[in-house]
Amino acid sequence: MPIRKEPSHFLEPVIALAKEAGRRIMEIYESDFRVGVKEDNSPLTAADLASHHCLVEGLEALRPAYPVLSEESKALPFETRSAWETYWLIDPLDGTKEFVKRNGEFTVNVALIHRHLPVLGVVYAPAKDLCYFASEGCGAFHQAGGAEPGSLHVWTQAPHRLRVVGSRSHGGEALDLYLSRVGEHELVSIGSSLKLCWVAEGSADLYPRIGLTSEWDTAAAHCVVKEAGGQVTDLAGRPLLYNTKESLLNPYFLVFGDKSRDWSGYAAGIEG
């Protein structure tokens, strides 16, 4: 069944699902939880799994029904996934390291992918009770608590001193090289997909990710950035695409609002 051009009819139930998943996360966040380890040595908590089950059950009940791919799902071969034109891509708890540190910088990410691009995205930060959401052709919004949603717009003219957002948990020499080329800047660190959301709301001008991420880390916030007028590209300036290969790792990427500057030009010689 082909998806509607504007899948905004999913927004209300998906926002409600993300908030319910966030409620279950916070129940564990406020307890004396244990931290396990996945096969790749990344942390895993009961909150990851509680959110996963909440989201998968809720999304599978929506109509029309689409497959669900979650960070906490059993790995699916590309030969299976490649047949999907439309599917849900979720990260039940993005920023588990931030969750463990109890700094509140973690999110629930839910995206609807259609023909390799996100057409709906919901990012909910339960510790902040802050929700970002967007759907194709309908714009991007954020909502704090029970307040009325407000529209989001990227900053389209980057200032001389750039506001750059980066990760609390990742960095490195390649990122330092890139930042040395962009010129005068202020670097602010924050966890999870909130980095992309900061660009979407105009709080940051640039998010260069010169490091590994997975597709479920970025998809929901990618939609928010796109609908707020920004772009998410690889280092060569090509749009970030989803479910095009066996690996679910993203290439290195750039998130920005000012399209008049050649942000990819600063990445010459940096591979990823």
Question: Mean pLDDT, the chain, as a whole number?
Answer: 93
pTM of the model: 0.94
Which pLDDT value is given to residue 211? 92
Which pLDDT value is given to residue 27? 95
Alpha-carbon torsion 240, 241, 242, 248, what sign?
negative
SS3 at position 88 = strand
Nearest-CA neighbor of 162 among 207, 196, 221? 207
Q: Could you identify the residue written with the tokens 């995206």? A: 111
**pLDDT of residue 43 exceeding 80:** no
pLDDT digits (tens, 9 = 90+) for 125-136: 999 999 999 999
Lowest mean pLDDT among 63-72, 93-102, 161-170: 161-170
- Asked if 105 and 124 touch (Cβ cutoff 8 Å), the reply is no
Distance (Å, rounded) from C-alpha 192 to C-alpha 54? 20
Q: Could you identify the residue written with the tokens 């990260």? A: 91
Q: Name the amino acid, one letter, at 207.
A: Y
Burial (CB count within 10 angstroms: exposed 0-12, middle 13-18, buried 19+), residue 73: middle
Which has more pLDDT, 154 or 35? Answer: 154
**Residue range 158-170: mean pLDDT, rounded:** 85
At residue 36 the predicted structure's pLDDT band, cuts being 50, 70 and 90, is confident
Which pLDDT value is given to residue 73? 85
Query: How many CA within 13 A on the CB side of residue 64?
Result: 9
**Residue range 80-95: mean pLDDT, rounded:** 96
**Residue range 95-112: mean pLDDT, rounded:** 93
**pLDDT of residue 6 exceeding 70:** no
Residues 6+ apart with CB under 8 A from 169: 97, 98, 191
Which pLDDT value is given to residue 4? 53
> What is the Cα 60 distance to its own chain's centre?
21
Which pLDDT value is given to residue 40? 63
**pLDDT of residue 110 exceeding 70:** yes
Distance (Å, rounded) from C-alpha 99 to C-alpha 101? 5
Kindly list the distances between the CA atom of residue 175 and the CA atoms of 81, 180, 187, 233, 270, in Å, as whole numbers in the listed order: 32, 9, 11, 16, 9
SS3 at position 178 = helix
What DSSP state is assigned to residue 10? G
Q: Name the amino acid, one letter, at 240.
A: L
Which pLDDT value is given to residue 1? 41
pLDDT > 70: what percent of the chain? 93
At residue 3 the predicted structure's pLDDT band, cuts being 50, 70 and 90, is low
